[in-house]
Structure 1
Amino acid sequence: MTAATGTSGTSGAAAARPRRRLSVEQRREQLIAVALEMFARHAPEEVSIDDIAAAAGASRPLVYHYFPGKQALYEEAIRRAGEQLAALFEEPQHGPLSERLYRVMGRYLDFVDSHGPGFAALLRNASPAASQGTGAVVDQVRHAAERSVLSHLDLADPSPRMRLAVRTWIGNAEITALAWLADQEHDRRLDREELRVKLVQEFVMQLLVLQIQEPELRPRLRGYLALERPDGPAGQLLQQLLALMADEELAGEALRLASGASGHDI
C-alpha cells in the first residue's frame, strides 16, 4: 500500500491542482518540500514517486528529470529535515540553563510529533531506504546538538565525562522520543509537558552526578543554579528531591548507605 492509498483525499486534491510554471530551482525545491512532508507522515517504503508527483501537481517523468529515483529524493528530504532538527537546538545563551533546555525540548517534541513515521524510520535506520547518506545526516544532527548543548554549559574545555554526559542525554532524548511515538499508537502516551520537563530534569541530574566525579566543576554548577528559579525545571527537581529525603524511613536508609553501615548494624 502506498501513501496515496492512505491519503487519497489529500493526494486527489493535490493532483487536481492546476500546474504552474516554476523555474528549475523552484520546481526542485517544491519537489523536496512535498517529499519531506510525505516522508514525515509515512515510512519511506510506503511512499512512491507517483505519490510525490501527484502531491506536487507534477508528472512522474518530471520528478525523474530532477532526481534519478526515490532514494535520491528521500536522502535530500532527510538532509533538509536534519538541518531543521539541528537548528532546533539553537537557543540564546542567557537565562537559567534548565529553561533554555526546556524551550529546546519543546521544539524537539513538536518536530517529533509532526514527523512521526519519518523520524522513527530515520533514527532506527531500519527502513529499506536507509543508506550511508541518511546515516550521515543522523550523525550530523547529533554532533550539532552536542555542540549546542556544550555551548550552553560555557566550558572552555569540556572533559570527556562532560562530553559523554551530553551525548548520553541526546541519545536518551532520541530513545525516549521513539518510545513516546510508539506509545501514541496504543493511546497510552505520556503527557507532552510531563515528558518535556522529565527530559530536562534528567540532564540536570546528570550534571549533579558529574560533580561527584569532577569536584572542580562545582563552582560552575553553583553558577548554573544561581540563575535558576524555584518554578523552573531545575528548581522543581531540587524541591522534589528534598521532599523525598523528608521521608524518615527513606532518609534513614540513605544515611545508612552513606555511613557504610550494613543493614545488620542498624
Structure 2
Amino acid sequence: MTTGVRRRMGVEERRQQLIDVALRLFSDRPPEDVSIDDIATAAGISRPLVYHYFPGKYSLYEAAVRRAADELSARFHVPHEGPFSLRLLLVMGRYFDFAEEHAPGFSALLRGGSVRSEAVVEEVRQVAYEQLLAHLELTDPGPRMALVIRTWVGVAETTALSWLADRSIPRRELERQLVHDLLALAAVTAAFDEETAGVLRRVVDQEPPDGPFAELVTRLLTLVPGRAGDG
C-alpha cells in the first residue's frame, strides 16, 4: 500500500536533479528564454526551493554546462595504443556516445549563452586539441599543424550537432568520416607545410592495410583518371 508521501531528496541529489532539468530546458532554448518558474515547474518544486540551491538561473545554467563539459572532456582520453586512426575512431565513438546519451547536455554546452559558458566550451576544445597533440606525439606544433587540429575539432562539433538534429546519415559512417576528415585536412596542409607532411608520413606508416586512412586513400585514387582499378 502506498502512503502518498514523497521521498525527500538530499542536497546533492536535488542539485543534480535541477541540473538535469536545466540541461533539458537550455538545450532547446537560450538562457534568457528560460525562467526560474519554468525550471521549478519542470522539476516539480517551488520557485523559492530553486533559489535555495542556486542564486539564479544563470548560475544553474553554468553548473549544467560545467557538468556537460567535464563529462565530454573525459571522452577524449583513450589509451595511446595502436594506430592513430583507430584511436581516433575510438574517440569518435565515445564522442557520439556522449552526444546521443546526453543530447540536452551536449546541445546546451555547444549552444553557449554567456561569457562564462563560452569559456567552458573553449576548455573542452582545448582538451580535445591537447589530446590529439599527445596522440600525434607533438608538444609544440607550428601554426599550420595547429590550425589543422583546431579546425577539425570544430568540424567534429558541427557534425555531431547536425546529426542530433537530422539522423539521416548513419552514426557509424559519420564517425569514420570524421577520421577521414582529419586525414584530408592534414594532407592538404602537408602539401604546403613540411612539419605537417612529416607528421602525416609517420602516422600513415603505422596504419594497417585495412585501416580508415588506407580506405580513404583507396577511395580517392578511384577518382583520379587512369587510376581506378590500379593495384
TM bracket (short chain)? 0.7 to 0.9
| TM-score, scaled relative to structure 1 | 0.72
Correspondence 1:144-183 to 2 at 5 A: 144-183=127-166
Q: CA deviation at 1:96?
A: 0.9
Unaligned 5+ segments in structure 2 are none
Do residues 191 (structure 1) and 170 (structure 2) align? yes
Counterpart CA distance in 2 for 1:157 and 1:51 is 47
Q: CA deviation at 1:141?
A: 1.0
Structure 2 counterpart of 1:214: 193
Counterpart CA distance in 1 for 2:5 and 2:191 is 62
**Bigger radius of gyration among the two:** 1
Kindly, what percent of the aligned residue pairs are identical?
A: 51
Unaligned 5+ segments in structure 1 are 1-15, 251-266
Structure with the largest fraction of helix = 1
Structure 2 counterpart of 1:248: 226
Sort the Cα spacing of 1:212 and 1:21 in 2 relative to 1 into closer, same or farther, 3 A: closer
Do residues 79 (structure 1) and 66 (structure 2) align? yes
Q: CA deviation at 1:197?
A: 0.8
Counterpart CA distance in 1 for 2:195 and 2:104 is 44
Q: CA deviation at 1:57?
A: 5.6
Q: CA deviation at 1:146?
A: 0.7
1:109-155 CA-partner distances (Å, limit 9, x unpaired): 22223444553454344xxxx11111111111111111111111102
Sort the Cα spacing of 1:113 and 1:21 in 2 relative to 1 into closer, same or farther, 3 A: closer
Structure 2 counterpart of 1:254: none
> Secondary structure at 1:164's aligned position in 2?
helix
| Alignment check: 8 A CA contact 1:18 1:57 kept | no
| Alignment check: 8 A CA contact 1:40 1:115 kept | no
Sort the Cα spacing of 1:30 and 1:179 in 2 relative to 1 into closer, same or farther, 3 A: closer
Structure 2 counterpart of 1:226: 205
Counterpart CA distance in 2 for 1:177 and 1:216 is 29
